[in-house]
Amino acid sequence: MTNSISPWAALLYVNFIIKKKYRVDEVSKEMRIATDTLYRYIRGENVMPPDRIIDLVKATGDIEYLEFFCDPCGYVPVPQSSGRLTNEEREKEQIRLSIFTGRALEEIERAYEDGKLERSELQKIEKALLRLQQKAVELREKIKKEVDS
């Protein structure tokens, strides 16, 4: 019998072990769980309960974990705004949106340079467009909160 690692555990393994984006000891402390427990989730030995996923997102601030669950359902995770934006914050948000727009367009241009679209290029385009969509929704929600308050 062959045990295969789940895509969720694979994502954790890549981020914690291969890319070393986060330290297991620091994140487990933030999540208020034993380091060994987090390692078991990362190695796919135990299934991470939903409430621990919430703790993981809060501890790392990594939206990629939310995207993992939202994307297959056709949703985009959007952070909540903390209130009214200052002019400076609004300008920064607009600049960020412009940057994401430029990146998405770059990915599309690169993909079509050779005249054919490969699956890997399509995935890059989809990811760039998803990020752009997230930033647009995020900015819209922040502006909407200003109007509502």
CATH class of segment(s) 7-73: mainly alpha
pLDDT, average across residues 110-126: 80
8-35, pLDDT tens digit by residue? 999 999 999 999 999 999 999 999 999 9
49-70, pLDDT tens digit by residue? 999 999 999 999 888 898 899 8
pTM for the structure as a whole: 0.59
The residues spanned by each domain of the chain are: 7-73, 87-148
User: In the prediction, which pLDDT does 35 show?
Assistant: 97
* Contact partners, residue 67, CB within 8 Å, separation at least 6: 76, 77, 130
User: In the prediction, which pLDDT does 2 show?
Assistant: 45
- Whose CA is closest to 101, among 64, 137, 133, 67? 133
